[in-house]
């Protein structure tokens, strides 16, 4: 495998050298609409050789000369002509070898994954693709969670990780290392891992490989795609990410180790993840920016490496898979239509992670931590409390629209809900069960504005668990008190 690493890096360097010196180079040509025979003829007229026709974006991967590429750019039928750019893994900033489970996996423990595992929420049935350097699928922690994939570097079905630092294998372990009582454990140890190798052993890969990897994820029915890759903006990459996101895939990416946020993390269709340390402070490698969406542990993270070993790495590459693992848990546990668009999909999973994140730094979303540190227990509405002795909370109308509700899970008994108004105009109560929204149980409680007005009702959760969302209506700062008793 080590010989393969050096050969791969050598071949890739040779490829770049020949590409730069030869008469033909690799480009991605984008069209305004779905290309057909006339577009094929247009490329041929400019002496282009089509290498690949992308399926989910209106673009071709083409070999042609720089001069012919420039002429194509002038044609109104062409949307863009860009060179097949080289991207690379987001380099970790520290490595040390070494070899219980939760103690070794401090990040997994910090975000509360153990509570989900104790409730048998392990991510079963969720498909997570790792776009990276491949996976050492023979590793004892990954053999049972690895389900296949594809190698776009060598174009075969053996996406083995031949990288010098086991980058893809390390990422995979954070997501779904087995809960076997030894070594480390992943956030979602029951999830199905798929290796999509788009980077060679040196950590480099072409833009066209990454786009092919995203298309493979769509065609193969992936639920989550983890991307610990960074590079420049590309219209083709943006289109590919948008296409995957609109197809229902949740895209999670490392924000980058530096001052600026890398692409594809910076795109709106992708969740940009930054890294934190043991004290929930920003990692020394982490960037700043409005695109930062979520935070997760990323400093000195122990996970799987080649040949049944373990290693400690730091970086946003280690933070992102914590978020991918949480997404897998949410999908496996089931979510509901949080954004009210009539669908339960990747957008609701994304919103659920945002709403449940533990706020860090400035109040609300900020450029350092985004919405905050992901929280498994809050996202899944789990508690390690065995007995329900009642719940009371203040429902406050806030300026930030994404925080203007409170969620409660009711299970196993009959509950009385009482809402006592302070200054709100109304409180919306939306109830869901495993089948979806319960219109018969949902209601709007209207108030005349007087403090002390109260309304009570019963919710029966003996046959089916209920998710109850309370939404305040009024001016920012107005509130009511909600009490739930059995």
Which residues are part of the catalytic machinery?
Answer: 132, 167, 317
SS3 content of the chain, % helix, strand, coil (to 5): 25, 30, 45
Among candidate residues 231, 229, 197, the one with its CA nearest the CA of residue 84: 231
At 349, list the tokens: 């999973």
CA distance 355 to 349: 10
335, 348 contact by CB (below 8 A): yes
Query: What is the rounded CA–CA span in Å between residue 447 and residue 425?
Result: 5
3-state secondary structure 55-78: CCCCEEEEEECHHHHHHHHCCCCE
The first and second tokens of residue 254, run together, are 């490392």
Coil, helix or strand at residue 263: strand
Query: DSSP states of 107-170 as a string?
Result: HHHHTTHHHHHHTT---TT-EEEEEES---TTSTTTTTTEEEEEETTTTBS------TT-HHHH
Token reading at 322: 């914590």
Burial state string for 376-411 with b = 16 or more CB within 10 A and e = fewer than 16: bbbbbbbeeeeeeeeeeeebbbeeeeebbbbbbebe
Residue 318's closest CA among 218, 215, 187?
A: 187
**Strands laid side by side in the 414-421 sheet:** 391-396, 479-485, 414-421, 454-460
Contact yes or no for 272/239 (Cβ under 8 A): no
């Amino acid at each position: 495998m080590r010989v393969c690493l050096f050969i791969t890096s050598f071949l890739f360097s040779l490829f770049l050298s020949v590409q730069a010196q030869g008469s033909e180079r690799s480009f991605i040509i984008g069209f305004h609409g779905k290309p057909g025979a006339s577009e094929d003829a247009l490329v041929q007229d400019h002496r282009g050789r089509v290498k690949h026709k992308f399926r989910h974006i209106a673009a071709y991967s083409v070999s042609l000369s720089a001069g012919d590429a420039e002429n194509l750019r002038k044609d109104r039928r062409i949307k863009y002509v860009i060179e097949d750019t080289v991207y690379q893994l987001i380099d970790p900033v520290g490595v040390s070898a070494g070899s219980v489970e939760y103690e070794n996996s401090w990040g997994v423990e910090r975000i509360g994954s153990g509570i989900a595992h104790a409730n048998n929420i392990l991510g079963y049935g969720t498909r997570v693709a790792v776009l990276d350097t491949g996976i050492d699928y023979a590793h004892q922690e990954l053999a049972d969670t690895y389900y296949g994939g594809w190698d776009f570097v060598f174009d075969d079905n053996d996406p083995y990780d031949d990288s010098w630092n086991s980058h893809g294998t390390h990422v995979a372990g954070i997501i779904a290392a087995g809960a076997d009582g030894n070594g480390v454990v992943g956030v979602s140890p029951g999830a199905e891992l798929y290796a999509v190798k788009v980077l060679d052993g040196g950590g480099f890969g072409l833009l066209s490989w990454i786009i092919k990897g995203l298309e493979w994820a769509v065609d193969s029915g992936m639920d989550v795609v983890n991307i610990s890759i960074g590079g420049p903006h590309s219209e083709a990459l943006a289109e590919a990410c948008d296409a995957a996101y609109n197809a229902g895939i949740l895209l999670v990416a490392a924000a980058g180790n530096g001052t600026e946020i890398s692409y594809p993390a910076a795109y709106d269709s992708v969740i940009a993840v930054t890294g934190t340390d043991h004290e929930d402070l920003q990692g020394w490698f982490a960037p700043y920016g409005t695109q930062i969406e979520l935070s997760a542990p990323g400093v000195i993270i122990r996970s799987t490496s080649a040949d049944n070993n373990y290693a400690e790495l730091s970086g946003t590459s280690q933070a992102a898979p914590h978020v991918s693992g949480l997404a897998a848990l949410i999908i496996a546990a089931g979510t509901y239509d949080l954004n009210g668009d009539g669908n339960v999909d990747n957008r609701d999973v994304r919103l659920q992670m945002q709403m449940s994140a533990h706020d860090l730094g400035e109040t609300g979303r900020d450029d350092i931590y985004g919405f905050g540190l992901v929280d498994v227990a809050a996202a899944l509405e789990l508690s390690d409390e065995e007995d329900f002795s009642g719940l009371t909370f203040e429902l406050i109308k806030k300026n930030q629209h994404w925080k203007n509700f409170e969620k409660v899970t009711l299970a196993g008994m009959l509950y009385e809900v009482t809402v006592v108004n302070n200054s709100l105009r109304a409180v919306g109560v939306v109830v869901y069960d495993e089948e979806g929204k319960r219109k018969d149980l949902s209601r709007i409680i209207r108030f005349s504005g007087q403090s002390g007005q109260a309304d009570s009702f019963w919710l029966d959760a003996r046959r089916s668990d209920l998710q109850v969302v309370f939404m305040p209506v009024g001016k920012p700062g107005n509130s009511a008190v909600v009490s739930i008793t059995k």
